[in-house]
A and B are shown apart, each in its own frame.
Chain A
């Protein structure tokens, strides 16, 4: 064992995907050389590496913009410590926008 990267799957829904080239699923391999990855670090990484513009439509301060739901493996991140949750190999992270719907 002992892989040197963290493999996770990030999904965007509810319209958030248009900020990411309309791609709903992004399979990522995050390097483990600089310590563990929590959701705060992941969000910052997504902002810096996957977004060319309109970062304010996804990120606010250290977290996601209000109105975006975050689920990890089908569980509300509010039950997992929000940005402090530490990612594990194989995690499925969903970012779903609930804005201007209906």
Chain B
């Protein structure tokens, strides 16, 4: 909070110091001319930058002790972006390294999620994108799979055999068309992506999924997560490892790399050029969604004050999640919707009641809806997933796994309330 006399405020808001002179030497080897400058004054030549990134990557994975002495299968989520390419290259080099160079014992498989149906891309365009993805990933020598973004579970197939099935896309399109605003659409898209990746990892018999989130995108997720009511799950969504899905752990080994670092690494290390895959955010207006607004805010501020991203990132690292008995039926995160006295949720509901003049339904505190499915569903969801589901017109279109989880959670809590008096609580 505000400290008297401390210079925390000053250090955070220091604008960019003057740029270094031309011909500056690399700060590491001090012999070659620097080719890139990171953060404020760290100038590196090409070779030293590559070495630095490789070292950082292997140190993060080594410290986590996730990879031991035996080969472990890992699924790498590939989106075509420079960060995805950097992740692949770093992992590929780490796997091929000698034992004295901190080799990582991993067996990577690459997966690409085809989200073309959402944007109305034609089958031909989507298959062309798959071909482009294959072109850039083939050189790494790992198997490449493709899977369509879907409401029900789809199986990942070898990308060369990938086919488009129009009827399964219709359900996805109807779901997204029934969502009222772009913010909720993007949130829903992220949820679906995680669920698809988790399901594919299980089908491909891997327990690890690597995501290419860099520190800039983590900082954006932290701030927009706070705006979206995700306080309970921010630490899981932005941390190094996320084990919400029972058999699958999501890893973010690039979270210490800035977007500039990851992009420059992918260029300097000779990766193929990134593939641009259109998304809901492409060409969108600055104020079209909370996520877009947050990204613009952070990136613009970072330009003037280069410690912005690292400050948000470091603050976000201090968040933690309080586990709950039942996970949220959608994101599998902790439930934060128990009405405790003086809780933020109680205050939010009270505000809503005052401003809309309507008493919240006792079963659904988030919106004034009559849909029976929705009102039973929201009881099994965390606050931010409730907001998504309340913006979906027809909750029957939600993924079947979510509806199943919700049914299970409902019957579990029903059963618990029936036998509650016979249960010995922890206090006794």
Contacts and interface: CB of A to CB of B under 8 A. Distances in A.
Contacts of B267: 71, 74, 94, 96
A11 to B, nearest CB: 9
B37 interface: yes
A102 B81 contact: yes
A46 to B, nearest CB: 18
Contacts of B264: 69, 71, 76
Contact of B299 (A24, A66, A76, A81): A66
Nearest to B302: A66
Interface in B181-220: 211-214, 216-217
B276 A15 contact: yes
B428 to A, nearest CB: 49
Nearest to B276: A15
Contacts of A79: 19-20, 22, 24, 34-37, 43
Contact of B213 (A24, A81, A96, A102): A102
Interface residues of B, number: 41
B259 interface: yes
Contacts of A52: none
Given A17-B276, A78-B19, A101 B79 contact: yes
Nearest to A96: B263
Contacts, number: 91
Contacts of A100: 217, 279, 281-282, 295
Given A18-B283, A66-B302, A102-B211, A80 B22 contact: yes
Q: What bracket does the count of chain A residues touching chain B fall in?
A: 20 to 34
A101 B82 contact: yes
B274 A98 contact: no
Interface string A1-39: 000000000000111011000001000000000000000
Contacts of A88: none
A102 B19 contact: no
Contacts of B260: 69, 98
Contact of A101 (B217, B268, B300, B302): B217
A82 B274 CA distance: 24
A76 B46 CA distance: 11
A14 B262 CA distance: 12
A98 B263 contact: yes
B379 interface: no
Contacts of A51: none
B28 to A, nearest CB: 15
B273 interface: yes
Interface in B28-46: 34-37, 43, 46
B299 A75 contact: no
B35 A101 contact: no
Given A69-B260, A81-B22, A24 B217 contact: no
Given A18-B278, A66-B302, A76-B35, 11 more contacts: A14-B82, A14-B276, A17-B276, A24-B273, A75-B36, A96-B82, A96-B267, A100-B282, A101-B81, A101-B212, A102-B84
Interface of A: 13-15, 17-18, 24, 54, 57, 66-67, 69, 71, 74-76, 78-82, 94, 96, 98-102
Nearest 5 pairs of A and B residues by beta carbon: A101-B81, A66-B303, A98-B259, A76-B36, A67-B299
19 contacts: A13-B82, A14-B274, A14-B276, A18-B276, A18-B283, A67-B259, A69-B263, A74-B268, A75-B35, A76-B36, A76-B264, A78-B37, A79-B20, A79-B43, A98-B82, A101-B83, A102-B84, A102-B211, A102-B254
